[in-house]
């Protein structure tokens, strides 16, 4: 995220860190990383670095129900990561507990904050891993994660098979005959969706059919990370570390595996239909997210420009499901 969060008093963050975590901040620097959360690197008076994450509770549709539900879901998700780390999974880069034991705190009605250890290492980009050895290492740690379901069964969120943001996407489809006037990218986003509307409706229909299939495997659910792609893995001296645990949830293992398996392994270790379901869910959820951003009030910025580019890419990706699914 290149833009700072709207309506957040960034100057108040050192006080929040001191009150919540006892961190006496000497310097704090914005880190424009990722897409969906806001990050800073805070250095305390002793020279210790910490990685600060601020989440926009209005932009967490997978938790559903508005900011309060999002904060509750985020609390459970980060608590799950903390429990997994404490339970012996050294590859889980979990949040640090505040002085009162909480792993995430509310800043205001819209924003929450969490503190993570700062790790020196390298991460990849979304997409393929750099080497087969890296991919194999991530598959191995995902196997260990899936085996630890019992450790966090009482707190891990259970991810419904609903499509996050579906109501916004279907509302946008119904509104294609009316002007979109949220900001400078609204009209362009409307045109892009109009060109691909048949792909969207076709994908939603196939999503529903695959969802019925995956629901029938409800006994096979395990604790999953949700987004174990290359950009969410830090390669440090001790091996791979998984970051970004706001999507952790109970689900079929294919929710993780579709991102890391290649075609030669699909038939032996995973259910092909479930892999397709989660791949399609990813693409449709991204389309829904970017359409919502660009229909809503916005200004011309690096983030909205990136949202428009990503929307075009994800709309085009829907065609692959028409070719692959029968």
Token couple for 186? 């609204």
Residue ranges and CATH numbers for the domains of the chain are 10-118 (3.30.200.20), 132-154+162-324 (3.90.1200)
d(C-alpha 189, C-alpha 282), whole Å: 19
The pLDDT of residue 326: 47
Give the mean pLDDT per block of 10 residues along the chain (326 residues). 76 94 94 80 94 90 85 95 96 96 94 94 79 91 96 89 92 96 96 95 93 83 94 88 94 93 65 91 93 94 91 91 58
CB burial of 25-57 (b: ≥16 within 10 Å; e: otherwise) equals beebeeeeebeebbbbebbbeeeeebbbbbbbb
120 Cβ contact list (under 8 Å, min separation 6)? 236
Distances (CA, A) of 276 to 55, 144, 317: 29, 23, 13
Longest dimension (CA), the chain: 60
36 Cβ contact list (under 8 Å, min separation 6)? 1, 56, 59
Q: How many residues does the chain have?
A: 326
The pLDDT of residue 35: 64
The pLDDT of residue 123: 81
The pTM of the full predicted model, rounded to 2 decimals, is 0.88
DSSP β-ladder status, 239-242 and 233-236: antiparallel
């Amino acid at each position: 995220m290149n833009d700072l969060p709207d309506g957040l008093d960034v100057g108040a963050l050192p006080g929040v860190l001191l009150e919540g975590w006892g961190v006496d901040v000497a310097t704090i620097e914005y880190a424009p990383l990722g897409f969906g959360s806001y990050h800073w690197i805070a250095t305390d008076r002793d020279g210790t670095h910490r990685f600060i994450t601020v989440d926009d509770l209005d932009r967490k549709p997978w938790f559903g129900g508005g900011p309060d539900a999002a904060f509750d879901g985020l609390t459970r998700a980060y608590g799950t990561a903390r429990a997994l780390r404490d339970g012996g999974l050294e590859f889980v880069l979990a949040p640090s507990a505040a002085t009162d034991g909480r792993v995430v705190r509310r800043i205001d009605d819209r924003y929450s904050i969490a503190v993570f250890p700062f790790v020196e290492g390298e991460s990849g980009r979304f997409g393929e891993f750099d080497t087969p050895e890296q991919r194999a290492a991530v598959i191995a740690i995902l196997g260990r994660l899936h085996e630890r379901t019992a450790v966090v069964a009482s707190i891990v969120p259970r991810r419904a098979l609903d499509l996050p943001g579906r109501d916004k996407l279907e509302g946008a489809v119904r509104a294609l005959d009316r002007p979109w006037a949220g900001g400078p990218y609204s009209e362009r986003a409307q045109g892009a969706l109009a060109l691909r509307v048949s792909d969207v409706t076709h994908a939603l229909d196939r999503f529903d059919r695959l969802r019925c299939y995956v629901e029938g495997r409800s006994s096979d659910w395990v604790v999953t990370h949700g987004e174990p792609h290359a950009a969410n893995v830090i390669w440090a001296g001790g091996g791979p570390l998984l970051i970004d645990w706001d999507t952790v949830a109970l689900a079929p293992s294919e929710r993780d595996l579709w991102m890391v398996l290649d075609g030669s392994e699909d038939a032996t270790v995973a259910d092909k239909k479930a892999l397709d379901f989660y791949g399609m869910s990813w693409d449709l959820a991204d389309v829904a997210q970017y359409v919502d951003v660009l229909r809503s009030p916005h200004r011309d910025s690096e983030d909205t420009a990136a949202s428009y580019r990503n929307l075009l890419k994800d709309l085009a990706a829907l065609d692959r499901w028409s070719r692959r699914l029968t």
